[in-house]
Chain A
Amino acid sequence: MTDNKTSGNRLGVKGWFAGGRWGMERYIYAIHRLTGLGLLLFLTIHIFESSMRIYGAPVWERTMAFLDHPLFAAGEFLIIIGFAFHAINGLRLVFLELGFGVGKAIEPVYPYRTSVQVQRPLAIAVMILSALLIAAGGIDLFFIRP
């Protein structure tokens, strides 16, 4: 949740990519935000593009003919990548929010064992599942699509 402070976020957007001791979860956090922003931009365009169907078959088919271009196919693949990653990682974040997969609370005894290490298998599972969905989407888009 956000506290609206006028200071205190020293690194700003740069902090998204300065993983430091947080490791791969910090980069997953950055990718989650970037994919989210990309999907929001796509959603805005998609609302208008998909609304063309209210004008009937001729307009819809002209719109689809315009979008039938390798550049838009590449864009569609980016949407598949973004959605697959954002959705699966979002599910991981919901699990963590509800306290699943974070491990039990332990005494802070040196050498410290962080919760991040307990959460890592879930992060790796996100990567594998996302990769599978992205591969399925890519195969459908570039090799099978009718």
Chain B
Amino acid sequence: MNKTASWFWFIAAGVAVFIIGGLHMAVIHLDGIAGIFNPAGGSSLAWENVSGRNGSLVFAVSYVILLGAALYHGLYGLYNIVSELGISEKANGLLKKALLAAGVALFTVGAYAAFAARFITVS
């Protein structure tokens, strides 16, 4: 992917995080004020509410989209910050590969959890 495309996706991922991450923050951190998507009421982190959201396909898909967007936005942001500090081309190449590997590994763990939790809840 060239730099223009990478930058476009960086911004697009940021907008996705703003929307889905904003909703996620409202559900989890404004549970007392907003109290949305907490079917059992009370704390958003109570197991009844967590398993209720786990069972929803919409939530599972939105978690995976948020995970991918947040990881791409965060890791590309980190890549830009480190690159700007003036590292060699070789170090730059290694950094790119290391961040890609970290991103794929973290995405795999998070995406697996999003769908595994759904099947545990459903079964």
Contacts and interface: CB of A to CB of B under 8 A. Distances in A.
A136 B74 contact: no
Interface stretch (A8-16, A18-26, A105-113, A120-128): A8-16
Given A40-B78, A54-B117, A136-B33, A9 B110 contact: no
Measured as residues with beta carbon below 8 angstroms from the partner, the interface class of chain B is 35 or more
Contact of A47 (B21, B41, B87, B109): B109
Please report whether the interface of chain B is mostly helix, strand, loop or mixed according to DSSP.
Answer: helix
A99 interface: no
A136 B88 CA distance: 45
Interface of B: 3-4, 7, 11, 14-15, 17-18, 21-22, 25, 29-33, 41-43, 45, 47, 50-51, 54, 67, 70-71, 74-75, 77-81, 83-89, 92, 106, 109-110, 112-113, 116-117, 120
Interface of A: 1-2, 4-9, 12-13, 33, 36-37, 39-40, 43-44, 47-48, 50-51, 53-54, 56-57, 60-61, 64, 76, 80, 83, 87, 90-91, 94, 97, 136-137, 139-141, 143-146
